[in-house]
Structures are given as structure tokens and as C-alpha cells.
Amino acid sequence: MILVNVLMFVAIASGLVLLMISREELALDRSLRGREAARAAAIVRGGELSAITALQRDAIDAPDVDHAGEPWAGIGARGASIDGGSFDLAISDAEGRFNVNSLRSGAVDPVVLFQKLAAIAGLDEAQTTEAIAYVRAQGPVSDTRPIRLIPGADRDAIARLERMVTALPGTTAVNLNAADQELLALLFDDPLVATRLVALRKRNGQITLRDLSDLKVTQPPGTSFRSNTFWVRVRATIGDTVQDGATLIQRRRLDERTVEVVPVARWRNAAVPPEAPAI
């Protein structure tokens, strides 16, 4: 009996020791993951700051035009190695799409353009009217995803519309240097002109008023060659921890000599909106 009792106490003690070791390992694992998450979050914020710096410099060096051939667009990285992991960074012009918040201005042109976009995407008149009413009633909106909730809207039609629209602060023009060929064809009401403009943009890095003049077309209303709103998206991987962040950055001219560049909205992980650049 004494031997049995001793063995029982030894078994209980061994179990307690194993439990303590297991709990300690879990605590260490949580601590390690916490440190990894903190480092990854710091790298995401560092990527945001690098984009702000590049856009601030661009506002000084080339204030009248924005296109993908400028230095700010070249700061991207994919699979860059860092201590303990890697990171990806993508930056893009946010004003290459129609801003749905322009529908709140009361002007006719934005409404007409949105109706054309919706029709091309495949929404009917009632669904288009409901989308406009939603933005006017609930706006300014910071995300286009609620449009997916329009009753009866075809999922493919919504996906096509989302490729041409965005939700930005204030009223913005569509930058012809950032708009895709589908949107350019709609803006100029001529697919052939859009094809030629895209070819010119690939060859020269940008579209200019001279290019439009050579093609004998005029600049559509609500368009521009420069932007004030940009996306930066950073994904940092440290060990087994991944942090994915997207930031909307806006340039604001305070006076003739001063431009501030500030983040106006941030999203993390699954909340990143579809119009943010892919990485």
C-alpha cells in the first residue's frame, strides 16, 4: 500500500510538472507571437511613412502631373527580405476611378457618368437609382462594398462596377494617367481613342493635352492629369505572423508653397477594401 501511495503521488506530481511546463510553453508562444505582431505592425506603418515621404517630395518636384512613371510609383517591393521574414509594398493612384462621393455634389455630370458606368456593368435603372440614393443618404462613404447589397443586383455586374468606382473623401476628378482602358473608352465615348491613349501612356509614361489634341479629342469633364489621393498597401510577415494594412493618403495644399500629406483612413487584414492595390 505504501508503494502504491508513493507511485500515486509521483504520478500526480509528474502531471503537475507537465501541466506547468505546458502552460509556460503556451505563455512563451503567446509572447513570441505578440512580439512578431508588434514588429510586423511597425513595418506596415514604416511602409506608410515611406509612401508619405515620396508623395511629399513629388508635390514639390512635379506638382502638375501624376503618373506611374514618377519616382513615387517606384517605391513598391515584393518579397523583400527583412530580419525574420519579408514584406510587400504596393502604391497606386486612387483617382483612376470614378469617386462615388461625387454623386453628393448635386452636379449633373457625375450622375450621368455613374449611370453610364452602371449600365455598362450590367445594373438596371432601378438598381442604379438605388445606389445613387444610398450614397447621397449615407455618404460620404468610405467603402464601395455596401453597393453589393443592392437587391437583385447580379454579382458579376457588381464586380464589374467595383473595378471602375471608388469611395474617396470629397469630390475628385478621374486622373487620365491612372484610369484603365475600359473607363477611358467610356469617358471619351470611343474605344479606339482609349486604345490609342493606353498605347501612348505605355510608351511615354503619361497622357498629355498635346496627345488629346493630336487625336482630335477634348478632355472630358470631371477628368484631370494629376491626383491628390493615393493608396499604399503593406504586408509584413514575421515568422508565422502576417500583418496586412492599407492606407488612403491625401495631399492637401495649404497655400501656394505648402502641401501636407496625411493618412485619412486605414484598414487592416480582412477589412482591406477591394480598390486597394493587390500585393
C-alpha cell recorded at residue 139: 455618404
DSSP at 276: S
Whether residue 217 is contained in a domain is answered as yes
pLDDT at 2 over 70: no
pLDDT more than 70, % of the chain: 88
CA distance 60 to 53: 11
How far is the CA of 121 from the CAs of 24, 102, 161, 181, 213, in angstroms?
Answer: 56, 19, 5, 14, 30
pLDDT band for position 145 (cuts 50, 70, 90): confident
132 and 247 co-located in one domain: no
Q: How many CA atoms lie within 13 A of 206 on its CB side?
A: 15
Per-residue pLDDT of 182-218, as tens digits, reads 999 999 999 999 999 999 999 999 999 999 999 999 9
pLDDT at 28 over 50: no
pLDDT at 14 over 70: no
How far is the CA of 49 from the CAs of 8, 33, 44, 141, in angstroms?
Answer: 62, 24, 9, 25
pLDDT at 26 over 70: no
118 and 146 co-located in one domain: yes
The pLDDT, as a whole number, for residue 29 is 54
Whether residue 124 is contained in a domain is answered as yes
35 and 149 co-located in one domain: no
C-alpha cell recorded at residue 255: 497655400
What angle is formed at CA 244 by the lines to CA 69 and CA 268, rounded to 5 degrees? Answer: 110
pLDDT band for position 235 (cuts 50, 70, 90): very high
C-alpha cell recorded at residue 47: 511602409
CA distance 197 to 96: 14
Domain encompassing residue 157: 98-224
215 and 117 co-located in one domain: yes
Work out how many domains the chain is built from and give that number. 2
Whether residue 24 is contained in a domain is answered as no
219 and 233 co-located in one domain: no
63 and 115 co-located in one domain: no
234: β partners: 89, 245
Whether residue 279 is contained in a domain is answered as no
Instruction: Look at 193 and 146; give whichever has higher pLDDT.
Output: 193
55 and 67 co-located in one domain: yes
142 and 248 co-located in one domain: no
Could you tell me the CATH number of the domain that includes residue 50? 3.30.1300.30
102 and 220 co-located in one domain: yes
pLDDT at 103 over 70: yes
C-alpha cell recorded at residue 66: 501624376
The pLDDT, as a whole number, for residue 109 is 85
DSSP at 220: P
Whether residue 106 is contained in a domain is answered as yes
The pTM of the full predicted model, rounded to 2 decimals, is 0.83
Per-residue pLDDT of 30-62, as tens digits, reads 556 667 788 888 889 999 999 999 999 999 898
Are residues 233 and 90 in contact, defined by beta-carbon separation less than 8 angstroms?
yes
44 and 108 co-located in one domain: no
Whether residue 18 is contained in a domain is answered as no
Q: Average of pLDDT values for 65-79?
A: 92
Q: How many CA atoms lie within 13 A of 113 on its CB side?
A: 25
46 and 162 co-located in one domain: no
pLDDT at 27 over 60: no
254 and 178 co-located in one domain: no
Are residues 228 and 250 in contact, defined by beta-carbon separation less than 8 angstroms?
yes
- Contacts of residue 198, defined as CB under 8 A and 6 or more positions apart, other chains included, come to 181, 184
As a whole number, the mean pLDDT across the chain is: 86
The pLDDT, as a whole number, for residue 200 is 94
